[in-house]
Amino acid sequence: MSITVNDLSFNFGQNRVLKEISFTARGGELLSVLGPNGVGKTTLFRCILGLLRGYRGQICLGGTDIKGLGAAEMARLIAYVPQFHYPSFNYSVFDMVLMGTSVHVSAFSRPGREQAKLVDAALERLGISQLKERGFTRISSGEQQLVLLARALVQESPILVMDEPTSNLDYGNQVRVLTEVKSLVSEGYTIIQSTHSPDLAFMFSDRVLALKDGAVLGCGPPEEVFSEELIYALYGMRVKMESLYYDRVRVCIPKHIADKAAAASLVSNL
């Protein structure tokens, strides 16, 4: 299911956070949103999720304008994986994930056997079945991220929004989570994520949206959008962008380090 955003603007009081943003993510694509801290990525996501209502412009999910949709109708279209969950109370992993099915049960009842099966399947799929009876606060942050992802999966919505899914994870878990994300995309999910790692964004994304000062700086396939100039414009950091494996992978190396290394290797070759 596609996401289409047209001329989206959002103000917090006098402060213009988003300025006429337009982009499209086709169904079955992974769209990565890049931009410096405080650029409005979270605001953009909250608008798309229907959590912020006072925006101007248009947001369509699979051709449906989300303006005026209720919480339950939204939840059937789009699910949310937060950057971090601060638990007020400790629930078992099973109960946490089961909560994701709430939109499919009526207000006065609780999820039943059918929903429990969905939960088991989602835990199995993400390889965390052994955590089922553990308390959520007793597992590692990488495992917590996978639990939150499982909770979004059992919601059975075709679109997932992931707010910096890898920012709290060590390198191994970052790659593991993104590999799961990628395989979900190949199954037909549309996923929009924010990230601070250009290298990983290049490796995994189908499309990249670069935001600067609340406006779009570039949008398209990563090999078209990514350049040394873009990274400088986004983060104020000069980098050397190396292309590897016939441009399947691009790596950014901070310019001052790349220059020093190049000089050193030149000297040692003499």
Partner 1 sequence: MERDRRNTFIVAGLGILLLVIVVLSFGLGRYPVSAGEVLGIALSKIFPLEQFWADRTETVLLNIRFPRIILACLVGACLSATGAAYQGVFQNPMAAPDILGASAGAAFGAALAILNRCSSFTITLSAFIFSLLTVFLVYYFSKKIKGKSILGLILSGIVVGSLFSAATSLVKLVADPTDQLPAIIYWLMGSLAGAGSREIKFALIPMTLGLLPLLLLRWRMNVLTMGDDESRAMGINVNRIRLTVIICSTLTTAASVAVSGMIGWVGLVIPHVARKIVGNNYHHLLPASVLSGAIFMLLVDNVSRNLLTAEIPLGILTAFIGAPFFIYLMTRRGEYS
> Which of 54, 63, 133, 265 touches partner 1 (CB under 8 A)?
133
Cα separation, 227 vs 239, whole angstroms? 9
Q: Does 62 bind partner 1 (CB under 8 A)?
A: no
Residue 156: which of 107, 117, 196, 202 has the closest Cα? Answer: 117
Q: Does 69 bind partner 1 (CB under 8 A)?
A: no
**Binding positions for partner 1, 32-51, rule CB under 8 A:** 46, 49-51
Q: How far is the CB of 229 from partner 1 (least distance, A)?
A: 35
Q: How far is the CB of 78 from partner 1 (least distance, A)?
A: 8
Q: Does 74 bind partner 1 (CB under 8 A)?
A: yes
Q: Does 107 bind partner 1 (CB under 8 A)?
A: yes
Number of helices followed by number of strands (H, E) in the chain = 10, 12
> Which of 38, 53, 67, 90 touches partner 1 (CB under 8 A)?
90
Strand order in the sheet with 159-162: 78-81, 159-162, 190-194, 30-34, 207-212, 215-220
Q: Does 251 bind partner 1 (CB under 8 A)?
A: no
Q: Does 78 bind partner 1 (CB under 8 A)?
A: yes
Cα separation, 56 vs 126, whole angstroms? 38
Cα separation, 233 vs 227, whole angstroms? 10
The tokens for 225 are 């959008």
How many amino acids of this chain bind partner 1 (CB under 8 A)?
40
Q: Of the listed pieces 56-64, 85-93, 171-179, 259-267, which binds partner 1 according to CB under 8 A? A: 85-93
Cα separation, 150 vs 210, whole angstroms? 28
Cα separation, 144 vs 2, whole angstroms? 28
> Which of 138, 248, 256, 260 touches partner 1 (CB under 8 A)?
138
Containing 120, the helix (H) or strand (E) segment is helix 113-125
Radius of gyration of the chain (CA): 20
Q: Does 85 bind partner 1 (CB under 8 A)?
A: yes
> Which of 54, 68, 86, 187 touches partner 1 (CB under 8 A)?
86
Q: Does 129 bind partner 1 (CB under 8 A)?
A: no
Query: Cβ(136)–Cβ(162) under 8 Å?
Result: no
> Which of 24, 92, 129, 227 touches partner 1 (CB under 8 A)?
92
Cα separation, 164 vs 103, whole angstroms? 24
Q: Does 134 bind partner 1 (CB under 8 A)?
A: yes
Q: Exposed/middle/buried for 27, CB within 10 Å: 0-12, 13-18, 19+? A: middle
Q: Give me the residues that bind partner 1 (CB under 8 A), please.
A: 46, 49-51, 70-72, 74-76, 78-80, 82, 85-92, 95, 99-100, 102-103, 105, 107-111, 116, 133-135, 138, 151, 155
